[in-house]
Structure 1
Amino acid sequence: MVASILQKIKDYKVKEIESLKTTHSLKNWEEKALKAQPPIGFLKKLKEKKLPAFNIIAEIKKASPSKGIIRKNFDPASIAVTYDEAGATCISVLTDGPSFQGKTEDLKIVRRNSTLPILRKEFIFHEIQVFESRYLGADCILIIMAAVSDTEAIAIEKVALDLDMDIIIEVHNRIELDRALQLKSKLIGINNRDLNTFKTDLNTTKSLNKFIPNEYHVISESGLLNREDLEIVAKNNINSFLIGETFMRSENIKNDFKKLLGNHF
């Protein structure tokens, strides 16, 4: 059987985690994290807007496993400034190297050039990565339920909460959602992309959202290409969207922002 993309990612993340442990002890990483500027409220920022207003979590990524290079002229600082000016609510930064050609330095650059809350879009399997994320300037992390056990998710979430960070619990199916609802975070990301096949289906958001209690804030992720897509998802009482590829392929990000938002700002 051919290993899934997610399994391949997990295999090399284990090596990256070992490298982090070699660079600094867990205690040292914690100390570095605690010295960082206090986090900006990611969930708080999202809650400021209500329907019909839309929240755009604008993503910065150079490439993906399924599409290859997405943006050749890749300048994280310039993109971050443009997102700020265009009206993004928050920013997401891909830092994974082997599959997305991201760098931890990208997040540091974005932090220096933006006052918006930042999600570190990373495959997190160990607490040490949470400390690293806070040190780099991230305000929010991602826990991908397809990638971690319940025990790992609880441990990762605890460290993030202790650091006053927000956590997006990402799910793709009902089993993952039921597990996610056992955690403390009230921020759920529904990924329309299957991380094992990288195929997308917007119906994923619709089918899962009905099982999520009202006190949760839901983000729809992946496969959102135009305003029609956003309006379809918004019918499910969702107004937060994580969008990356559309902007990364754009020659005029500000114009495409306007097209996506329409009157939903």
Structure 2
Amino acid sequence: MTIQGKICLITGATSGIGQVTALELARQGAQLGLIVRNPQKGEATRQEIIRQTGNESIQIFVADMASQAQIRAVAEPIQQAYPHIDILLNNAGFIAGNRRELSADGWEQTFAVNHMGYFTLTQVLFEMLKAAPEARVINVASEAHRFSNQLDFDNLQLQRGYSAMKAYGLSKLHNILFTKSLAKRLEGTNITTNSLHPGVVATGFASTSSGFFKVLAQLARPMMISAQKGAETSLYLATAAEAAQYNGLYFDKKRPRTPSALAQNPEKAEKLWEVSEALSGLKLI
């Protein structure tokens, strides 16, 4: 896919791999829509991308990905700004602290941002994706999905046995299962979807966490890769012509990789989709 002039919408673009991905897409001539939680950080990111690339086709849209109401609301200005969406990059991620906290919708915060944020944003922008000649939905998952060796729908949001690491790993499992179910629904359309592991990236991502997870991140930092390296697979799935042939796969280092057995389970994928529809009240796809 030649990215020049394509409309790319990215969440979590004010730092880390999201920012690097946005910068490179802008450098290649894409029109960028950045969905940000903090408008000041969003505007600073926009100005920095313009400064570095000379590409002024960048717009900011404000929404907290933990809030279903804000995700729904942001769809309107996006629809007014663009005729369609070529690339939707669900990149925003969250790691919680030791205490289990709830979103405005009453959901465990990691689940709310990392799974339901992806699910609902894709749903509310689905018609814009359909309107593109060829569209791609890219979901940033993680090898952390392998932390989860079971998926208990009676304890989906870890009401029992909560830990930050469990919640994060489970949310990344959800990302891969969501991609699997979405891909099935997209067969025969102009849209494909894939998920990816960006690598263990040296960013401030774990700074919001505490306890064991934060210590682990600090110990692992010398072995982490740069945000530039971490963005490579997202960029590959967004821009490579051959990536159009893939649908429903999980990528690592720009190549398909086999996820955990649980992440390949079609029954679990469908059940998660049904639960997500019920929670969101959305059934558009």
TM-score range, shorter chain: 0.3 to 0.5
Considering fraction of residues, name the structure with more helix.
2
**TM-score, normalised with respect to structure 1:** 0.36
**TM-score, normalised with respect to structure 2:** 0.34
